[in-house]
Amino acid sequence: SRRFFDLPMSEKMTLHVSKSDVALRGYIEPLGENTDPGKTQDLKECFDFGPERSRLEGPFFGPNLWPSSLPEFRELTYGYHQKMVDLAKKLLQGIALSLDLSERYFESFMRNPISIQRLLHYPPQSGYISEAIIGIGAHTDYGNLTILAQDDVGGLQVMNRDGDWVEGIPIHGTFVINIGDLIQRLTNNLYLANMHRVVNSSGRERYSMP
């Protein structure tokens, strides 16, 4: 991930999402997304890829854009993506069992998953940080689950039931699992999508892979 984001901006822009005819594929530059419509654009930059299946299956399927200067990049990142899809299926089995359902209950919703993988880079912020301009604005994730790998820099904040932001302190060797909007809907609010954001005040570059 770090090697990709260290590429020259001119090279990353050759992989821009606007150059892909598949939704949610490619590079998005800093300030290129606005996750929280009430704020300004996000400071992060990101690279998205997903299942390389026939585009005839829908607008979210088709070829990914890959950097030619990093020949091993596709194999490593796409292999990781496949492992995360397998893990997500296991987690959904656990959620089903916790609701006294068959562990295969959610399989019908995972037959043809979009399962978008993101690589994210958050530049550091220093001094006074306005909530209007941060790494990524407050949001919930729209899918089933998000399996987040992050470095040790920190910056992830989660809103608790009192409406306060609490730090999601990184724990080495673990994933952060976010419940998404779809699972909240499918479970009739028994599982709730968690509001979260990233404020990178560490003074260091932050990298994560949701």
CATH number, domain with residue 124 = 2.60.120.330
- 4 φψ region: left (φ > 0), alpha (ψ -120 to 50), beta (else): alpha
Average the pLDDT over 46-52 and give the result.
95
pLDDT tens, position by position, 120-140: 999 998 776 777 789 999 999
Residue 99, both tokens: 């609701």
Give me the pLDDT at residue 15, please. Answer: 98
Instruction: Tell me how many domains the chain contains.
Output: 1
In what helix (H) or strand (E) does residue 45 lie, and over which residues does it extend? strand 45-49
2-16, 84-98, 130-144, 184-198, range with the lowest pLDDT: 130-144
Decide: 138 and 36 in contact? Cβ < 8 Å: yes
Pick 191 or 133 by higher pLDDT: 191
Q: Which residue has the tokens 């599982």?
A: 191
**What's the mean pLDDT when you consider all of the chain?**
93
Which residues does residue 156 pair with via DSSP β-bridges, in sequence order? 198
How far CA 29 is from CA of 26, 53, 65, in Å, comes to 10, 26, 15
Q: What is the pTM of this model?
A: 0.93
Q: Is the pLDDT of residue 39 over 90?
A: no
* Structural domain of 193: 2-209
Give me the pLDDT at residue 126, please. Answer: 79
